[in-house]
Chains A and B, each alone.
Chain A
Amino acid sequence: MNKDQEGEKIVRTTVWSPGAGCHGGCGVKLHVKNGRLVKVEGDENHPWNQGRLCPRVLALTQYVYHPDRLLYPMKRAGERGEGKWTRISWDEAFDTIEKKLKEIRDQFGAESVLFCQGTGRDIGGPISFLAYAYGSPNWVQLGLAGQSCYTPRLAAMFATQGDYAVLDAGQFYEKRYDAPEWTPPKCIIVWANNPVPTCPDAFHGHWVVECMKRGAKVITVDTRTTWMASRSEIHLQIRPGTDGALALAMAHVIINEKLYDKEFVENWTFGFDELKERVQEYTPERVSAITWAPKEKIINAARLYAKSKPASIHWGLPVDQCPEGTTVAQAIAHLWCLTGNLDIPGGEVIARPAFGVTTYPFSSHELTALYGEEFVKKLTGKRIGAKVYPMVANFRGWAQPDMAVDQILTGDPYPIKAAWIQTTNILGGQAADTRKHYEALKKLDFNVVVDTFHNPTSMAVADIVLPAATFPEKESFRSWWAPLSVVVPAIKVGECKSDWEINLELARRFNPGAIRYKSVKELINDRLKPAGVTFDELAAEGSWMMPPEGHSSKPYRRYEKGLLRADGKPGFNTPTGKVEFWSKKYEEWDLDPLPYYDEPPESEVRTPELLKEYPLVMATGRRSSVYFHSEHRMIPWMREIDPDPIVEINTKTAADLGIGDGEWVYVENRRGRIKRKAKVTPTIHPKVVMVPHGWWYPETDGREPNLFGIWDINCNQLIPTGTQSRSGFGGGAYKTTLCRVRKLEKER
């Protein structure tokens, strides 16, 4: 913290939602004048973003001081959906919630309450903490079919490598691109992601651009021609959902042409011969027919990637949303292991939470370390989906979302009575089959929504609404992945409290014996202990700190140094101590130990009859630079840039359908229809339409039946639940359902 000449205070802090909305990590300088945030700048000394920012943070004051922000707790005054609210005190809010949820716990058991969150924000830590303090195992991204967001990729990496890995852009080093230990990847596969506007999974999109400036050649796998795709050596414009086949064909080329890293495969992997046998059926010819990508391009992409060393893959969420997402992720992860790119500079670097500090538990191991083995085991027994899916039982703490919504409706095997909904707009955001989730949430006895704005979910189902603080208003900490950083409070807005503050208070009330922290800072300092640092010390140091050489959260080649396994032996943290092409864990979890390809539930191959009626693949979820999922539609300067819910449709396809640019159309299938504005563009594949998700109109009536317009424009109404992978994770059909598009005026 320092002051400039005008008495303006500058607070250095770390971005982690709310406000920016995203997965966070950027260092910023908050300019505060008379207690008010006036400007945000990127912190040029922060290694994550080196001064860079995005439009959402540049317009942060519009978010923080928006007239519609929730500023104090409220309780419902009329019926659900009537939009009538009464202001209440925090004491009343906490007392009511404590009383209601304790009654439910006494009568039905703690498992009858779902603790629902959205994407990877600063929520996984506080909400799992609250759920476990209350005693419920049902921590869930309710509505996210197949829990298809990063968890499938994490599970595949955990099972086959014992650790997680990410594209290495020097992000574990203070000096970044100038760090002598680091070298840029010579080739990057940007697999199913548009990194610059996205910044996904604790990855800053500009890192890829910085690698490109340093010579990295790019291969892009994307059904759209993005900026990145049009600057790539090779663009594989594949059919959505066929990424697994593509990965297996690339492995076919790499293995059969002997382009793999013989030394690494020989010494550090298990099951190569079985993998070799498996990939034989995935010839480039066959996979070309599956994926629509020309055979030569598949072969050349495999060669370019395998012959470049180091080379790296940066992947995105469509991998999880492929059918059998966990096996697709496994197939792609095998590529970097075959080529010996794991944990080397400029390859795929093993990513562990900095200093071993846990914020957002990424695995059951982290949960166990926090809450004790016996307790976690006891809860897991009742976790939704754990009996059906061994992966759900054994990897990470999530309940299975498709089963969770069904269980609300059926009460089988036990009733669900309440939902704690925090940082997630289920009905305007991630929920597939929106109507089903609407009906399910309406059925519950008690719902609490914690958010920054009213949204379709809070309006439709909340009984109590609590106002969440944005990142400039809160104390928090972050170890996803490095550096270790803290979120430093600079301002106060209304009566808003941070998610940690709210959850700590309730956790203490639910479990006074176990929760000993008196303040959030005390909790943070306890969690920071592995790093030997306190919140205040980190805040004074500009808010961040990198792990030192020799620590297991610092690269490279930790498998040679014995830094990955609990027993201190060289090798990987897997049953065999090696990277497992044949996964012992998958085998143990009743899954095929080797990767394979499966068709989407609706497709030209699986449902050719349906294709006649609905000839286009509906992919959803492409990112906008100015929005994060269902957020920011009410931020004037963001909305001005991206004003309408569009559907991207290829120039030729649109011409065939008589649709002009800017015309309103229906996008429809058997499950329903939505209105969208056609964006006619050559960038999308002619057989695919891209429908951006998360749309609602905050400027319209929030009450029933309108609910900010979701029934008109929310594309998730066209997407089913229940398409999860055999593992329970992955397979949400957000990119693969079939649809048709027609002009609105033809409707009577």
Chain B
Amino acid sequence: MRCYGMIIDIDKCTGCYNCFLACRDEHYGNDFPPIALAQPFQGHFWMQMNERERGIYPKVKVSFIPKPCMHCDDPPCAQASLSGAVYKRPDGIVIIDPEKSRGQKEILSSCPHRVIFWNEEKNIPQKCTLCAHLLDQGWGEPRCVEVCPTGALLFGDLNDPKSQISRIWNSKQVEVLHPEFELKPRVKYMGLPKRFIAGTVIFKDKDECAKEVKVTLTGRGKKQTLRTNNFGDFEFEGLEEGKEFTVKIEHSGYTPQSIKVQTKQDVYLGEILLKRSSKR
């Protein structure tokens, strides 16, 4: 038995919208009973594209986060549905039965990822099926994966130990969108944007970029150290959101500085002036 999974590599996603378009192209105007009925002409985003811009000028990062149904192992939509209208197939795909789900609008709000859409005309909830109708015909991947021009979407059989996806599925760099929902999704991510703390260190006496200056970040029971680059820049990336950290900047002959930082948002500390230490 196959067991499908998808990994979305954010580092490779350029936000081209091909995945969304291919999904629309496949599902608009085409019924695939019993898996899904046709998507309406507009308004549904079974594969959503979310643009994420972080930081402030001049330290800004841009990411795109494609988001289909997560095909959870504990799907809240299934729990919210009546008479088994939402069910999980043995291969892991979560399906909303287009017949049984008729009128069950409450299924929409059960999903914390907000990936279920209401079809007004047909009176049914709808979402990504991972193109199960194609997989059942022998396709190796859904349309969105097929059209991804950068290979940002990786799809495959988790039960096949030789598949690329099964080899990395449980590795450290693979993560879950909103792990706090605890839904055991079959769609995972790599390179999801977290928080960064960055700054630019300047030697005040020389008015120049402070290269090779030691910067230490402490917080969440961990300590990281790095050195500023040629532009005096430093950056700690992949930090937890909404936590407190301390940035310490030290260089021989200069007065050390210590700055407390909250990662409610991404933080660019701007130019940090290091003063010569008085030797008296």
Contact = CB atoms under 8 A, between A and B. Distances in A.
A58 B150 contact: no
A637 interface: yes
Interface string A664-692: 00000000000000000111011000000
Contact of B147 (A53, A681, A685): A53
Which are the 7 A-B pairs with shortest beta-carbon distances? A52-B149, A58-B21, A225-B60, A230-B62, A196-B14, A230-B61, A55-B21
A54 B18 contact: yes
Given A636-B42, A637-B42, A682-B53, A55 B17 contact: yes
Given A39-B25, A53-B18, A294 B53 contact: no
B209 interface: yes
A58 B25 contact: yes
24 contacts: A39-B25, A53-B18, A55-B16, A58-B22, A196-B14, A197-B14, A206-B150, A209-B12, A225-B53, A225-B60, A225-B61, A227-B62, A231-B11, A296-B209, A296-B231, A300-B231, A625-B15, A641-B17, A641-B49, A651-B57, A652-B56, A652-B57, A681-B53, A682-B60
B57 A685 contact: yes
Given A227-B64, A296-B230, A640-B42, 18 more contacts: A52-B149, A53-B18, A53-B147, A54-B16, A197-B16, A225-B60, A230-B61, A230-B63, A237-B57, A294-B231, A296-B209, A296-B232, A625-B16, A636-B42, A637-B42, A640-B43, A641-B20, A652-B56
Interface in B164-212: 209
A642 B28 CA distance: 19
A5 B42 CA distance: 31
Interface in A176-216: 196-197, 206, 209
Contacts of B20: 55, 641
Nearest to B229: A300
Which size class do B's interface residues fall under? 20 to 34
Interface of B: 11-12, 14-18, 20-22, 24-25, 41-43, 49, 53-58, 60-64, 147, 149-150, 209, 230-232
Interface of A: 39, 42, 52-55, 58-59, 196-197, 206, 209, 225-227, 229-231, 235, 237, 294, 296-297, 300, 625-626, 636-637, 640-641, 650-652, 681-683, 685-686
A637 B21 contact: yes
A59 B25 contact: yes
Contact of A227 (B14, B22, B149, B231): B14
Contact of B14 (A39, A209, A636): A209
A650 B147 CA distance: 33
A682 B53 CA distance: 7
A226 B62 contact: yes
A731 to B, nearest CB: 28
Given A296-B209, A296-B231, A237 B56 contact: no
- Of B54, B64, B231, the most chain A CB neighbours within 10 A belong to B231
Contact of A683 (B15, B62, B150, B231): B62
Contacts of A296: 209, 230-232
Contacts of A55: 16-18, 20-21
B101 to A, nearest CB: 25
B233 to A, nearest CB: 10
Contacts of A206: 149-150
A221 to B, nearest CB: 14
B57 A650 contact: yes
B154 to A, nearest CB: 14
Contacts of A686: 57
A651 B53 CA distance: 11
Contact of A58 (B14, B18, B54, B63): B18
Contacts of B232: 296
Nearest to B54: A682
A185 B61 CA distance: 24
A686 B149 CA distance: 33
Contacts of A300: 230-231
